[in-house]
Amino acid sequence: MALFKKNIFGQSIFVKKNIIRVLGSIAYARFRWLYKVDIKGAEVLQNLPDKNVLFISNHQTYFADVAFFLHVFHAALNDKPNALIFPGFINPKHNIYYVAAEETMKSGLLPKLLALSGAVTINRTWRANGENVRRKVDRKEIDNIDLALKDGWLITFPQGTTKPFVKGRKGTAFIIKKHNPVVVPIVIDGFRRAFDKKGLKTKKRKSTLKMVVKEPILFKEDMNIDQIMEKLMDEIEQSEKFSFFDQAKKENV
């Protein structure tokens, strides 16, 4: 029975879909009525395989970014690319996952519910509870990322932080080397102005939430980890040269 079906992590698909429906309805109302949206390139989403797709993006808030991603994805899959539509998430694609810090997803009741919508949680090896740390990578976390890619689409934020122009973590490059997924870059903007850091509270109404979905990128087999990371950071517009352009833009305002 569909009611008792579970995903690759042993989680109830029925529960996951209903969490997406309920929280998606709330998020839709906020995105649709409190802000303007500017989405480009989402047609790309309509031609992707069902599995082994890795989305890479810059990161601006803990939760609003991913919620917006899911809305854009489901709208495109319902033949409405570059828009937000209400019924898009009513029958959601249940094999969409996203990488998230475990401490963030355990920080309250709402984050715990959000985690059930597709979070693949990891303990960051470099940061914990606001402190810099150094710890080993958990093999189980790597296995979970592998499972998510084998089962469907996975969203990850290579920088592992909402701070702009921070150097990317090499874990994403290792994933690409290992699985050779279809890699789709996404660039977002406006979320930092529109929301608080968590992405739950409104900071500036009527600001514009922007998203650009780029064409999948290819990596040569002989590219090393550093070369892959350089390409990734350029594609999500978080490399040093984009930091320079951003600063020049601010100075000319």
Number of domains in the chain: 1
Q: What is the pLDDT of residues 104-141, one digit of tens each?
A: 888 888 889 888 899 998 886 555 555 555 666 677 88
**Higher pLDDT residue, 245 or 173?**
173
Report the pLDDT value the prediction gives residue 50, as an integer from 0 to 100. 97
Q: Which domain holds residue 195?
A: 2-251
At CA 125, angle to CA 122 and CA 130, rounded to 5?
Answer: 90
Residue 222 pLDDT > 70: yes
Report the CATH number at residue 127.
3.40.1130
What is d(CA 244, CA 160) in angstroms, rounded to the nearest whole number? 21
- The per-residue pLDDT for 91 is 87
Identity of residue 239: S
pLDDT in tens, 178-207: 999 999 999 999 999 999 999 999 999 999
Residue 248's pLDDT band (boundaries 50, 70, 90)? Answer: very low
Q: How far apart are CA 19 and CA 244, in angstroms?
A: 41
Residue 251 confidence class, pLDDT cut points 50, 70, 90: very low
How many whole angstroms from its chain centre is CA 158?
10
